[in-house]
């Protein structure tokens, strides 16, 4: 037998038979677990340790000696972040790293469409793949507990079932491109104030019923390849190295086989990082040039301190091997998968996807006197008023800030749509934040205005009094203490005196349309003065086009709210029952009690007989009307091992095509533990032509009836009487079907 020497990825192998020289880990045809074990057996302890921590701001090393590539992370979840310097947050100065910005995840959740979620994930995954990224740091599925959370715009609302159904196709769409989704922030990261020094105190029932289901669905159904830990503490341990969350639940109960990634700067202790479930450490200091070392990455908690503990015998290598296995598994699923597609960037298909998702997510909150859609038959004059009509919203807001190829403003979108059919005029109305820069990305807009608030208002009112329609585009922005990472809002009201502007415009023109751009609920003291209100979210690159399509009726609005709009902040249980954002103890740790337990969002609202929300969860109007027939069940009883089928006819009784989200809630009429009045357990978004009728079918099983008994630490479905509630929103019940569980 002839023996030869073979060079594989820089490694000179010893003279062995050719068949034995080919490492299994390089063979795509081998099972991943075989490849993982083969690669692991060839690695030194130093190489394994190196895998577990960063070597730059967004990169961690592979194993060059074995031909295992580096791992490149990118912020999402709404677009691919521009390239930054190796050690710093500032821009690297590339000219080809702009992207398509997709609508924020509150908008995606408002579509109530798993199909839109898959399209979103597939599209953003293609952009990440084209830029050769390994991991997208998103999507976020933290529960909307308070409307003051500056980061709510990055999440999928208040209901765990809705978030669960929407996160799974997003993850699947991303990972079809050979790019890992990194579902975040696990767990209980429900506000931004004092996020590094908050310890969440919550009972196990609320943890399992409210705050974990979307993460569990992402792991067990979406098969996400990575999970990001959270900044906050739980049970006195930070989320990025938390025994209960990461080892006991995520890797133990759920069987997660992927890698746990720290949030940037979320690692605080070497011993806990070793033992409590963290696999990859990032961002532990501002840059790699400080902290008293030529390479500060060597000082990361999972770098030299970890290696020294192994070399001194303080710790063994069992945890290290587990971390390395998970990271190698990530490599073989992503950057060592030769069959992954090549991706694409800024394609017409991506812009079309961004526009369609935005159109389906926009929510028509109110439409008195049928002011909308805008009719252009008589060549109307339209006044567009408000800073958010022109301000770029893709720059700012924290780590989701983007550098876009283009962003269509609401004003430009309205003007383009109305060209030749209507005259469109503009007035500022108010000055909010004239700045336009974040981490070196500059909008190039000059929004400075030295006029007084009185002068701006007078100009807007004068313009409004002489036109056929007024479109006020306001709301929040991506500035600090608004919809922005690392800070929370200071109140529920609109900033910059917008309430006074809106009321003045309402007096000046009866055809006022208020477009609220935000990722959060806002107070609306003028709600009875304004005929039409549209919730427009942060819509990304195609913002103006998506909005104009809805305002002019080219698209029939079909979005539904993924969270409750409270009338007052005190109506929110996190504020009514607790001290938000917590009380600091003697060590400066804010102890945040989730005193409301499972009663978050509409679960709390349903309990309040005298307090009504401004707009309920699941609410959203259309330009057509829908009639619900009487729902029926295929049986009056359900066995614990069977299913129950609920059917309800729905008909489009209007004059144009439309989509309706039919929602199914379950009510447990008597239980051993307190339960909500009703809980969302199914939904179906159906498209109907005028006069068309369809029968919607829902199938429920024992899981739909369960609650988590924290004393027994198990899910329980108690025999007894239940109701299946068919609704158009949490506040608009259309039919009830009683049944019993044997």
Query: Do 60 and 261 meet the contact criterion of CB atoms below 8 Å apart?
Result: no
Residue 546 has a CB neighbour count (10 Å cut-off) of 29
Residue 406 has a CB neighbour count (10 Å cut-off) of 12
Query: Do 678 and 667 meet the contact criterion of CB atoms below 8 Å apart?
Result: yes
What lies within 8 Å, CB to CB, of 691 at 6+ separation is 651, 652, 653
Query: Do 501 and 508 meet the contact criterion of CB atoms below 8 Å apart?
Result: no
Alpha-carbon Rg of the chain, whole angstroms? 27
The residue behind tokens 């709009």 is 565
- Residue 263 known to be catalytic: yes
What lies within 8 Å, CB to CB, of 528 at 6+ separation is none
Separation between Cα atoms, residue 468 and residue 379, nearest integer Å: 9
Question: What is the SS3 assignment for 660?
Answer: strand
Ramachandran region of residue 573, left (φ > 0), alpha (ψ -120 to 50) or beta?
A: alpha
Give 615's DSSP letter: B
Torsions phi, psi for 146 (to 5 deg): -140, 140
Q: Which position among 75, 87, 159, 263 bears the catalytic label?
A: 263
Question: What is the SS3 assignment for 114?
Answer: helix
State whether the Cα torsion 326-328-329-335 is positive or negative: positive
Separation between Cα atoms, residue 356 and residue 685, nearest integer Å: 15
State whether the Cα torsion 293-297-300-306 is positive or negative: negative
Query: Do 738 and 716 meet the contact criterion of CB atoms below 8 Å apart?
Result: no
Give the tokens for residue 433. 């934040």
Half-sphere exposure of 397 (CA within 13 A, CB side): 27
For residues 238-258, one letter each, b for 16 or more C-beta atoms within 10 angstroms of the residue's C-beta and e for the rest, the string is bbbbbebbbbebbbeebebeb
What spatial distance separates the first Cα and last Cα of the chain, rounded to whole Å?
A: 72
Query: Do 598 and 575 meet the contact criterion of CB atoms below 8 Å apart?
Result: no
What lies within 8 Å, CB to CB, of 317 at 6+ separation is 45, 48, 310
Q: What angle (nearest 5°) sits at the alpha carbon of residue 448, between those of residues 454 and 466?
A: 45
Give the tokens for residue 417. 């749509």
Task: Kindly give the interhelix angle for 32-41 and 318-333, rounded to the nearest 10 degrees.
Answer: 130
What lies within 8 Å, CB to CB, of 719 at 6+ separation is 640, 740, 741, 742
Residues designated as active site:
263
């Amino acid at each position: 037998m002839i023996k030869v020497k073979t060079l594989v990825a820089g490694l000179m192998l010893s003279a062995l038979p050719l068949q034995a020289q080919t490492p299994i880990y390089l063979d795509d045809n081998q099972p991943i677990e075989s490849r993982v074990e083969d690669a692991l057996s060839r690695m030194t302890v130093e190489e394994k340790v190196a895998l577990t921590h960063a070597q730059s701001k967004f990169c961690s090393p592979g194993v060059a000696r074995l031909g295992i590539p580096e791992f490149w992370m990118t912020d999402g979840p709404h677009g691919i972040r521009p390239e930054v310097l190796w050690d710093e947050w500032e821009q690297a100065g590339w000219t080809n790293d702009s992207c398509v910005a997709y609508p924020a995840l509150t908008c995606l959740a408002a579509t109530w469409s798993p199909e839109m979620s898959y399209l979103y994930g597939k599209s953003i995954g293609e952009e990440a793949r084209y830029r050769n990224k390994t991991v997208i740091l998103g999507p976020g599925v933290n529960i909307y507990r308070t409307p003051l959370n500056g980061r709510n715009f990055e999440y999928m609302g208040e209901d765990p079932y809705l978030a669960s159904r929407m996160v799974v196709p997003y993850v699947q769409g991303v990972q079809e491109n050979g790019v890992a989704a990194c579902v975040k922030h696990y767990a209980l990261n429900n506000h931004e104030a004092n996020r590094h020094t908050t310890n969440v105190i919550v009972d196990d029932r609320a943890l399992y019923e409210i705050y974990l289901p979307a993460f569990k669905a992402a792991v067990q159904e979406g098969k996400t390849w990575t999970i990001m830990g959270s900044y906050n503490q739980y049970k006195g341990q930070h989320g990025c190295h938390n025994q209960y969350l990461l080892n006991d639940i995520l890797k133990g109960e759920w069987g997660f086989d992927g890698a746990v990634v720290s949030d940037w700067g979320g690692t605080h202790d070497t011993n806990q990082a070793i033992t409590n479930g963290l696999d990859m450490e990032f961002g532990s200091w501002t840059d790699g040039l400080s902290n008293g070392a030529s390479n500060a990455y060597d000082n990361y908690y999972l770098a030299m301190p970890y290696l020294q503990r192994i070399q001194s015998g303080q710790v063994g290598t069992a945890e290290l091997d587990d971390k390395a296995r998970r990271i190698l598994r990530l490599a073989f699923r992503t950057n060592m998968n030769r069959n992954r597609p090549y991706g694409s960037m800024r394609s017409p298909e991506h812009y079309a996807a961004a526009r369609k998702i935005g159109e389906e997510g926009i929510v028509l909150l109110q439409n008195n006197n049928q002011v909308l859609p805008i009719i252009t038959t008589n060549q109307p004059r339209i006044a567009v008023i408000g800073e958010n009509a022109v301000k770029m919203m893709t720059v700012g807001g924290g780590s989701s800030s983007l550098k876009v190829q283009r962003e269509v403003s609401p004003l430009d979108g309205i003007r383009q749509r109305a060209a030749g059919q209507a005259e469109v005029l503009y007035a500022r109305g108010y000055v909010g934040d004239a700045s336009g820069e974040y981490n070196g990305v500059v909008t190039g807009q000059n929004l400075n205005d030295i006029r007084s608030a009185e002068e701006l208002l007078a100009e807007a009112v004068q313009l409004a009094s002489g036109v056929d329609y007024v479109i006020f585009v306001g709301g929040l922005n991506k500035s600090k203490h608004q919809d922005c990472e690392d800070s929370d809002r200071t109140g529920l009201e609109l900033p910059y005196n917008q309430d006074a502007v809106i009321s003045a415009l309402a007096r000046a023109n009866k055809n006022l349309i208020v477009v609220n751009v935000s990722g959060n609920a806002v107070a609306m003291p003028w709600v009875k003065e304004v005929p039409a209100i549209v919730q427009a979210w942060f819509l990304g690159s195609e913002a103006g086009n998506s909005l104009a399509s809805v305002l002019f009726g080219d698209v029939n609005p079909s979005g539904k709210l993924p969270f409750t709009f409270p009338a007052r902040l005190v109506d929110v249980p996190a504020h009514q029952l607790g001290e938000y954002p917590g009380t600091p103890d003697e060590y400066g740790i804010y102890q945040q009690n989730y005193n409301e337990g499972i009663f978050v969002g509409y679960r709390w609202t349903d309990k309040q007989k005298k307090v009504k929300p401004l707009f309920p969860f699941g609410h959203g109007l259309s330009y057509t009307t829908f009639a619900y027939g009487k729902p029926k069940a295929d049986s009056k009883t359900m066995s614990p091992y069977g299913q129950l089928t609920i059917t309800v006819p729905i008909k489009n009784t209007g004059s144009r095509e439309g989509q309706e989200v039919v929602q199914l809630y379950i009510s447990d009429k008597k239980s051993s533990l307190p339960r909500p009045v009703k809980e969302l357990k199914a939904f179906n978004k159906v498209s109907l032509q005028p006069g068309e009728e369809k029968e919607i079918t829902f199938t429920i099983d024992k899981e739909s009836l369960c609650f988590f008994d924290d004393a027994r630490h198990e899910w329980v479905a108690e025999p007894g009487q239940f109701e299946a509630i068919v609704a158009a929103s949490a506040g608009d019940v259309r039919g009830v079907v009683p049944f019993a569980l044997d």
